[in-house]
Structure 1
Amino acid sequence: MAAGATALSTVLGTLLAVGLARHASRSRLLPALSVLPAVLPDIVLAIGLLAFYSLVSATLGLHSVLLAHTVFGLAFVTAVVRTRIAHVDPSLEEASRDLGAGEVTTFLRITLPTLAPGIVAGALTFTLSLDEFVIAFFTAGPKDPTLPIVIYSMIRFGVTPEINALATLLLAVSFTVVIAAQRVSRLTEAL
């Protein structure tokens, strides 16, 4: 679930950040709305998503959790990538277009590599999605629990060695992902 939500939120958040940087420079409302899910408390976002699912008569399951985690992560990715875009020299893209490269070639060969450290940092929403309980609790179906929901249901009956082992694994995975992302970010900045 966390990997799928991270992939979707990273792609969509990067595209949203680029679009906001290029086309919404005068508007203050769109950038503010793009980070709203990150600013809202988790419980408010979870209840809002549950109300939305009820309004459109969507069934709850892993697909609804995936969509909810994507919306949650999208705000973080957008904020991080927009920060990176602000530090990128726009003359690089202009030079690429002046030398005959099209929009797609310029995006793939100039813009994307220069944004890579921000994209990698934004992809750290994986760690947020991996242990997100509140949003998953409200948007998951009864037959599709995520790992944090399973851990919560186990804790109600007492802390067992299995819960300690799961918590240790979650912590180890989170640390590993953060350290790996930091190293990848350093490598992409060096290039």
Structure 2
Amino acid sequence: MVNKSLKKIYTTLIFLFLYAPIIILIIFSFNSSKSRGVWTGFTFKWYVELFKNEEVLTALYYTVLIAILSSLISTIIGTFAAIGIYNMNYLGKKIVLNLNYLPILNPDIVTAVSLMTLFRFANIEFGFLTMLLAHITFNIPYVILSILPKLKQLNRHLAEAAMDLGATPFYALRKVIIPEIMPGIVTGALIAFTLSIDDFVISFFTTGPQVTNLSITVYSMARRGINPVINALSTLMFLSVLGLLIIINKRTSKDMKSRGDLI
């Protein structure tokens, strides 16, 4: 009993240590003073100024647009890639999966420099297109890994039965396979959207002078000096990402529970 209580206290202290800076940042985003050491009163003025800041609004536009486009495109590519990988033989599946793990296991800086070098070699002008392609590239592996478990749960004979009854392969894919793996597709899309919004390193190395996202804007504003608007922006970003992660975790828990009920 004592050991259990000590473990809970230790775990609580660890999480408090990790999240204390974020909690302080959120609290001082409502501070009327620019100082982060003195509390002078509660206010929403930094949030009002945030939405009057043209630089931030432009960065928000590009962040959301790239996140939506990259998550949609990577989900479509990742879905068909996962189905293809699932139907490969053992050796081919092993090789492709190991290649799929590379962008996940590599540090972001390695992926960023590699993509920057590729775009430079291909003579592609840095800007919206290069950032979008970079986000699609690092999102696809996560989508594939979200969908593959659902494919493993799928009855292999469902599509064959549909085609025996007269369905074309594409119709069987659209009406039988995709509805069965839809929870994995939605989870993969949400993960891709979250990663795209939160990314800094890869975006920094693959963007152009005319295009920036929120993470790069925060970095640039912080270099010019601490501005309370950054606290407000960081708070909104943190709450948005946290909300998406909660949705992903709830979906995953629900899927695991339903799978356990079936078993």
Q: Secondary structure at the match of 1:26?
A: helix
For residues 156-171 of structure 1, the aligned pairs below 5 Å read: 156-171=223-238
Q: Cα deviation per residue 1:125-145 (whole Å; 9 max; x = unaligned)?
A: 111110100000000002211
Q: Cα distance, 1:180 vs. partner?
A: 4.1
Letter paired with 2:109: I
Distance 2:105 2:232 in 1: 32
Query: Structure 1 residues 24 and 145 mapped into 2: Cα distance closer, same or farther (>3 Å)?
Result: farther
Contact 1:5–1:73, Cα closer than 8 Å, also in 2? yes
Of 66-75 and 157-166, deviating more is 157-166
Q: Secondary structure at the match of 1:75?
A: helix
Of 155-164 and 144-153, deviating more is 155-164
Q: Aligned residue for 1:45? A: 111
Of 98-107 and 65-74, deviating more is 98-107
Q: Aligned residue for 1:18? A: 83
Q: Secondary structure at the match of 1:23?
A: coil
Contact 1:24–1:30, Cα closer than 8 Å, also in 2? no
Of 173-182 and 98-107, deviating more is 173-182
Of 175-184 and 62-71, deviating more is 175-184
TM-score (norm 2): 0.67
TM-score (norm 1): 0.91
Q: Cα distance, 1:169 vs. partner?
A: 1.0
Distance 2:148 2:135 in 1: 20
Residue 80 (structure 1) aligned with residue 152 (structure 2): no
For residues 129-140 of structure 1, the aligned pairs below 5 Å read: 129-140=196-207
Q: Aligned residue for 2:4? A: none
Distance 1:24 1:165 in 2: 51
Q: Aligned residue for 1:92? A: 158
Distance 2:221 2:89 in 1: 47
Q: Aligned residue for 1:70? A: 136
Q: Cα deviation per residue 1:115-166 (whole Å; 9 max; x = unaligned)?
A: 1111111112111110100000000002211111001011113332211111
Q: Which of 63, 67, 74 is 1:2 aligned to?
A: 67
Letter paired with 1:37: P
Residue 36 (structure 1) aligned with residue 102 (structure 2): yes
Q: Cα deviation per residue 1:50-90 (whole Å; 9 max; x = unaligned)?
A: 11011111110011000000000001101111122112111
Letter paired with 1:58: I
Q: Cα distance, 1:4 vs. partner?
A: 1.0
Q: Cα distance, 1:182 vs. partner?
A: 5.4
Q: Secondary structure at the match of 1:170?
A: helix
Q: Cα distance, 1:33 vs. partner?
A: 1.1
Structure with higher Rg: it is 2
Letter paired with 2:114: G
Q: Which of 148, 151, 155 is 2:215 aligned to?
A: 148
Letter paired with 2:163: R
Distance 2:155 2:229 in 1: 51
Question: How big is the alpha-carbon RMSD for the aligned residues of Structure 1 and Structure 2?
Answer: 1.9
Distance 1:180 1:163 in 2: 26
State how many pairs are aligned.
189
Q: Taking every aligned residue pair, what percent have the same amino acid on both sides?
A: 34
